[in-house]
Amino acid sequence: MNIQVLKYHPSQKSQWDQMVENSVNGTFIHKRDYMEYHADRFADHSLMIYQGHKLIGILPAHAEHNILISHNGLTYGGWIWKENFTPDESEEIWRHVLQYLNNKGFEKLLMKEIPLFYYKFLTEKNRMVYDHFGEIKKKTIFWFIDTRKPIEKLLNRNRRRSLAQAQGKKIKIEPSGAWDVFWSILEKNLKVRHQAKPVHSLQEMKYLVSKFPRHIQLYLGYLDEEPVVGSVIYKKKKVWHFQYLSVLPGLSENRFMVDYLVWELIRKAYNNDYDFIGLGAAESKGQPDQNLVYWKYSFGAEPMAQFLWEFNV
């Protein structure tokens, strides 16, 4: 196949981004402007795979000592391909990659795979090859809604009861540019409930919005004209993903507003012909959170596994 494995160079930014755009499984979080907002925290060692002079695959990655990781700064890393290959072709590509890593002194590759609902079409070909060369180190369950499921069949009884609390109340859901307002809600909620901070700082999120205004959208929910809940939506090709969701803590009457906002945004995703709605993982401090599991299930979400793979070089 005449395979060549090269380390990414900043001069190849446009080629990299075009590859993400035309790939079968890449999303905007793999573009360089997104990856490099935290470049000071990760020693980039992304890979580009060529067949002759043709770019056929890329791997967003960073180096930590003698380990290549894809990617601790992203929800998912993994190989991004322009096309599908036969199992034999994929294995040959992997042998070249492992040889490259060996030559560069790496001892292993850790890779968070891209969840399958981000693919243009569902396939487990990558996993067949991963299983041949590596092993699963961790499984994370992501929850998603397949919009082929009729919207009237999504909600269970408890979620319908919660939404009924909105009747007769003065509620408004709308797109917003008030990032400072939402970040205040988010930070207060995370501090009270989890003694944690958002993954992104307010400044980082504003930077990302400036780079990806078509892909990142904030929605705020108002109760009696006061902002009490909000969500940051990532629009990733055919997937409408809830990146952040938070409610002002402390007031019990705010709780149903989370359900109301989520339901309104699910309806919006259906109306805009997205194939999947991503609700993220249901974990707390790395462990399954059964309350979150039930809450996502109650909106009609289904589980799908994402694997962290380890490959010894």
CATH code of the domain containing 174: 3.40.630.30
Domain assignment present for residue 202? The answer is: yes
Pair 126, 179 in one domain = no
In a domain, 178, yes or no: yes
Name the pTM for this structure.
0.94
> Is 295 inside a domain boundary?
no
Whether the CB-CB separation of 276 and 117 falls below 8 Å is answered with yes
Please give the residue range of the domain that contains residue 198: 149-274
Q: What is the dihedral of CA 255, 257, 260, 266, to 10 degrees?
A: -90
Closest by CA position to 101, among listed 63, 71, 130, 129:
63
Measuring CA to CA, which residue among 94, 95, 102, 93 is closest to residue 3? 93
Mean pLDDT for the stretch of residues 255-270? 95
Confidence of residue 87 (pLDDT cuts 50, 70, 90): confident
How is 222-256 classified by DSSP, letter by letter?
Answer: EETTEEEEEEEEEEETTEEEEEEEEE-TT-GGGHH
Q: What percent of the chain is predicted at pLDDT more than 90? A: 83
Q: Once rounded to an integer, what is the mean pLDDT over residues 122-133? A: 86
Q: Note whether 181 and 200 are same-domain residues.
A: yes
**Strand 80-81 with 108-112, pairing:** unpaired
Distance CA 310, CA 313 (A): 10
**pLDDT average, residue stretch 75-81:** 93
301 belongs to a structural domain: no
Confidence band, pLDDT 50/70/90 cuts, at residue 252 = low
CA distance 123 to 100: 27
Distance CA 69, CA 56 (A): 20
Which amino acid, residue 18? Q
* Domain shared by 127 and 191, yes or no: no
How many residues in the chain? 313
On whether both 135 and 190 belong to a single domain, the answer is: no
Alpha helices, H only, the chain: 13-22, 32-35, 87-103, 125-133, 157-164, 179-194, 202-211, 255-271, 290-297
Quick check: is 283 in a domain? Answer: no
41-45, 119-123, 252-256, 287-291: the lowest-pLDDT one: 252-256
Q: Say which amino acid occupies 152.
A: E
In angstroms, what is the C-alpha Rg of the chain?
Answer: 21
Q: Residue holding tokens 């059964």?
A: 290
Residue 294 belongs to a domain: no
- Low-confidence winner among 12-16, 85-89, 211-215, 290-294 (lowest mean pLDDT): 85-89
Tokens of 84: 């599908």
- Position 114 scores a pLDDT of 94
Residue whose entry in the numeric block shows the structure tokens 């109301």: 260
